[in-house]
Chains A and B, each alone.
Chain A
Amino acid sequence: MPNPWLELSTWPFQRTASYKLLLTELGLVDADKPYVEVRDDCARQHRSPAVELRLDGPGGRTLWPLLTFTQGALILACLPLVEAPPEPRPPLPSLASVSQGLALLSGLQDFLCGPGGKPEPDVLASRLAALPSVLLQVCPLGRPLDTPPPAGSVPAAVAPSPGGAQKQPAWKAGVHRGRVVVSVALTEKVRSMQYGKSSQQDIWDVYGMVMCKCEVEGVLPNVSVTLTLPPNGSPLQDILVHPCVTSLDASILTACSVDENDCSAFSGPYKFPFSPPLELFRLCSYTSQVPMPPILGSYQLKAEENHLKANVVLKLHESVKNSFEYYEAHIPFFNQNLMGSVEVKVSSGQLEVSKEKSLLVWVLGQKFPKSREAALEGTVHFSGTVAGPTDPLCTGLTAYIKLYFRVADAVFRYCRVDQHSVQVYSSAKPRIVTTRELVSSEYYIWNSTGDAPVSLKI
Chain B
Amino acid sequence: MTIADLWDQRISAFLLSLSQFLATTSTESFLAELLHELRNDKTNDQLKTLLVSVLLEHPTILCPSASVGEETALELLSVFSHTPQKSIVLKCNVMLAITNVIICTSCLNTHTKTAEDWLDLLFQMIQDINDYRCGLSQQPIRATACDCLREMETCSPGLLSQKLEALYLLKQQETTVLHQSYCLLYTLGLKNAIRILTNQKDVTDLEFKSILGGNEGFAWKSNQLELTSLPINMLVQVPRLTQGLDCKELKSIMSLLLEESYLLMPISQSALLRELVEVVAMVPGLSRTLFKSQLLRLFGTADVSLMHATLFMKDTFTDSLFTTEDENFLLKRLVGMAQHPLLRITEKLFYMECILHFPENRPISSSGEESLPVLVTPRLAAFLHPTVFNDSATMLCRLNLLCLVHLEANEGEADKGIGFLFDHIMALLKIVDNDGSREVVVTSLRALFIFLMHFSGMEELSEKLIDKLCDMYSRHSRLAPNLIGLADRIQEHPRPVWSVKLLRGLQKRIMEMPPLQLTIHNLSWHLKVLKRVAKEGQITQRNTIYLLLNVLINSNLCERGNWQVGNAVLAVYRNLLDHPSIDQVFIELADLLQYISIQYDDTDIKDHARIYYTLLTNLSWEKLTGVLAKRLDGGRAKERSHSAIMAESEEIASNLTVHKTHVLQLIKAQEKAAQSSSDSVEATGEVRNWLEVYQGQLQTPGFGSEVTLRYNLTHAKETDPLFDKVFTICLHFEPKDSNYAKVTDIHVPCVFRDRKSPEVKVKLKPFQPRMFTTQDGRSWHSRLPDVSVSFPEIFLPLPLPPNSSRECREQVFERIWEATASGNSDKSAISLFCFKPEDKSLADLIKTHFQGYLITDQQSERSWKVLLFLPPKCHILLKITQAEDAAQVSIATDNRELLPFVNSYLQNITDN
A-side residues, CB < 8 A to B, are 9-12, 15, 27, 31, 34-35, 37, 39-49, 67-69, 83-85, 88, 90-94, 96, 98-100, 102-106, 132-133, 136-137, 140-141, 143-147, 160-173, 189, 191, 207, 209, 237-243, 245-250, 252-254, 256-260, 282, 284-285, 287, 390, 392-393, 395, 441-442, 453-458
Known: A90-B368, A141-B99, A243-B306. A40 touches B442 (CB 8 A): yes
Contact (Cβ within 8 A) B424 A454: yes
Judged by a CB distance under 8 angstroms, whether B234 is at the interface is yes
Closest A-chain residue to B93, C-beta based? A136
Residue in B315, B339, B350, B396 whose beta carbon sits within 8 Å of that of A102 in the complex: B350
Within 8 A of A (CB), among B89-107: 89, 92-93, 96, 99-100
Known: A48-B349, A238-B340. A145 touches B270 (CB 8 A): no
Give the CA-CA distance A165 to B92 in the complex, in Å: 28
Closest A-chain residue to B132, C-beta based? A163
The interface bits of chain B over 250-270 (1 if a CB of A lies within 8 angstroms of the residue's CB, else 0) are 000000000010111111111
Judged by a CB distance under 8 angstroms, whether B482 is at the interface is yes
Judged by a CB distance under 8 angstroms, whether B445 is at the interface is yes
Q: A169-B263, A239-B300 are in contact. List 8 more A-B contacts (CB 8 A).
A: A42-B486, A46-B446, A48-B353, A93-B308, A100-B305, A145-B181, A258-B339, A456-B382
Give the CA-CA distance A104 to B507 in the complex, in Å: 52
Give the CA-CA distance A442 to B177 in the complex, in Å: 42
Judged by a CB distance under 8 angstroms, whether B683 is at the interface is no
Within 8 A of A (CB), among B264-284: 264-271, 274
Contact (Cβ within 8 A) A256 B332: yes
Give the CA-CA distance A391 to B581 in the complex, in Å: 46
Closest A-chain residue to B434, C-beta based? A392
The interface bits of chain B over 101-140 (1 if a CB of A lies within 8 angstroms of the residue's CB, else 0) are 0000000000000000000000000000111100010001
Closest B-chain residue to A103, C-beta based? B305
Give the CA-CA distance A259 to B99 in the complex, in Å: 52
For A458, the chain B residues whose CB sits under 8 A away are 341, 387, 389
Contact (Cβ within 8 A) A457 B265: no
Contact (Cβ within 8 A) B230 A144: no
Contact (Cβ within 8 A) B439 A27: yes
Give the CA-CA distance A246 to B304 in the complex, in Å: 17
Known: A140-B147, A147-B265, A392-B434. A99 touches B337 (CB 8 A): no
For A162, the chain B residues whose CB sits under 8 A away are 130-131, 136, 176
B-side residues, CB < 8 A to A, are 12, 15-16, 53-54, 57, 89, 92-93, 96, 99-100, 129-132, 136, 140, 144, 147-148, 150-151, 174-177, 179-181, 184, 230-231, 233-234, 260, 262-271, 274, 296-297, 299-309, 311-312, 315, 329, 332-333, 335-337, 339-344, 346-347, 349-350, 352-354, 356-357, 368, 370, 379-380, 382-385, 387-389, 392-394, 396-397, 399-400, 420, 423-424, 427, 431-432, 434-443, 445-446, 448-450, 478, 481-482, 485-486, 489, 492
Contact (Cβ within 8 A) B436 A92: no
Residue in A137, A147, A207 whose beta carbon sits within 8 Å of that of B341 in the complex: A207
**Interface Cβ pair total, 8 Å cutoff:** 330
Contact (Cβ within 8 A) A246 B297: yes
For B99, the chain A residues whose CB sits under 8 A away are 141
For A47, the chain B residues whose CB sits under 8 A away are 349, 352, 393-394, 396-397, 399-400
Contact (Cβ within 8 A) B353 A49: yes
Contact (Cβ within 8 A) A42 B445: yes
For B388, the chain A residues whose CB sits under 8 A away are 393, 453-455
Contact (Cβ within 8 A) B485 A393: no
Shortest B445–chain A CB gap in Å is: 4
For A160, the chain B residues whose CB sits under 8 A away are 136
Contact (Cβ within 8 A) A392 B478: no
Shortest B298–chain A CB gap in Å is: 9
For A254, the chain B residues whose CB sits under 8 A away are 329
Closest B-chain residue to A250, C-beta based? B296
Closest B-chain residue to A99, C-beta based? B308
Contact (Cβ within 8 A) A240 B300: yes
For B306, the chain A residues whose CB sits under 8 A away are 243
Contact (Cβ within 8 A) A145 B299: no
Give the CA-CA distance A287 to B332 in the complex, in Å: 14
Contact sample, A vs B, 16 pairs, CB 8 Å cutoff: A40-B442, A49-B393, A99-B309, A104-B267, A133-B89, A145-B267, A146-B265, A147-B265, A162-B131, A163-B129, A256-B333, A258-B380, A287-B336, A454-B388, A455-B387, A455-B389
Give the CA-CA distance A380 to B346 in the complex, in Å: 42
For B151, the chain A residues whose CB sits under 8 A away are 141, 143
Contact (Cβ within 8 A) A88 B368: yes
For B301, the chain A residues whose CB sits under 8 A away are 240-241, 243
Closest A-chain residue to B100, C-beta based? A141
Give the CA-CA distance A78 to B499 in the complex, in Å: 38
Contact (Cβ within 8 A) A42 B265: no
Shortest B902–chain A CB gap in Å is: 47
Give the CA-CA distance A189 to B437 in the complex, in Å: 30
Give the CA-CA distance A133 to B262 in the complex, in Å: 26
Residue in B440, B450, B481 whose beta carbon sits within 8 Å of that of A392 in the complex: B440
Known: A93-B311, A94-B357. A457 touches B368 (CB 8 A): no
Shortest A84–chain B CB gap in Å is: 5
